[in-house]
Amino acid sequence: MKKPLIFLLGLVVLVSGCTGQDTTTLYENDIVIIRDLQAVPGVISPEQTVRIIANIQNKGNKPITASVDLFDHCEGLFPAKDIKPNCGGGQGTLGSTLCPNIELGAQETKQVDWVLKSKKIELKTVCPQDGMKVAVRYKTKTISLTTISFITRAELERLIQSGGLKEIGSYRALGEGPVKPDVTVEDQQPISIDAGITVIAFQVENHGSGFLAVKDAAQQDAKPQVRLTKFDFGGLTPAGRPGDSCDVLQAANPTGQPISLIQKESSKYLCTISVPTTVQTQETKTITTEIEYDYEFRKSVKVTVEPKI
């Protein structure tokens, strides 16, 4: 039995298990991040200015449109009306904390910054106490796939008699993005075509360092959800057994079937599928899933306002 091996291949983590266990390729999780956040200078005197500098990085392999917001800057000490944003190329609206529609190419980093002016105060103050907070928000899609293997009865019997039968696992590729859809096969493989049915499980998990955001930032009371935009059974047919969740998977559409996460993962959706009755000795099918979602990544930096003695 081989011990699990983990390889870091650029943006990919490959996990290979024992015979019969799945082999999983895990692509980059946090594709858009605040690479670094600085306050220049970190300590200022009252009525002086500080510059908050954020370097926003797209670590992924596809272009992303993001918005960046200095959403917690201590209005009582640094009035919003005095904020001077630079959203790139000198773009930005005086008094605004938001830099919308930042276009990030694959593997690209862009800088945005804000200049804030402190009010006159008498006591040393750090506000907010846990630092000024910047958020980068974006919409993306993640595609994953899972293989499932079937075998004829004759081939199964031949392998058993020859001692050559080995349990195999699925190959699972969990695509680029912090929130990943995942399909697992509940039964041992290869699955005999005499089995009639088998069960797959679908689940969505947040692998990233941020969290789901609502689709429309103006709807703050809305519940963040993942949108299941595609579930391709790879030619397999749901059996429609009572109590399973095939209907949720079949409801996938370009607009998106809502999937909710509790903490970092969704419920597990079980679906009974019919085993194909004819295969060429041993055959592998591929199930493909796609989700769309809005995501937010945050970082903070402290600024101290200290009167001179």
Q: Domains, the chain, ranges and CATH?
A: 5-28+144-293 (no CATH), 32-139+297-305 (2.60.40.10)
pLDDT of residue 163: 85
In this predicted structure, the answer to whether residue 3 has a pLDDT above a threshold of 60 is no
Has this prediction a pTM greater than 0.85?
yes
More confident call, 89 vs 15: 89
More confident call, 9 vs 216: 216
pLDDT of residue 147: 97
Average pLDDT over residues 72-89: 92
| Confidence grade of residue 204 (pLDDT, cut at 50, 70, 90) | very high
Least confident piece of the model among 13-17, 75-79, 212-216: 13-17
pLDDT of residue 6: 27
For the segment 215-248, what is each residue's pLDDT rounded down to a tens digit?
Answer: 766 566 678 999 999 999 999 999 978 889 999 9
Residue 78 — left, alpha, or beta (φ > 0 → left; ψ -120 to 50 → alpha)? beta
Dihedral of the CA atoms 73, 75, 76, 78 (nearest 10)? 70
Contacts of 195 (CB under 8 A, 6+ apart): 187, 275
Contact by Cβ (8 Å): 39, 51:
yes
In this predicted structure, the answer to whether residue 169 has a pLDDT above a threshold of 70 is yes
Q: What is the maximal distance between C-alpha atoms in the chain?
A: 90
Average pLDDT over residues 8-35: 72
Contact by Cβ (8 Å): 282, 149:
yes
More confident call, 221 vs 214: 214
Instruction: Work out the percent of the chain whose per-residue pLDDT is above 70.
Output: 92
In Å, how far from its chain's centre is CA 206? 6
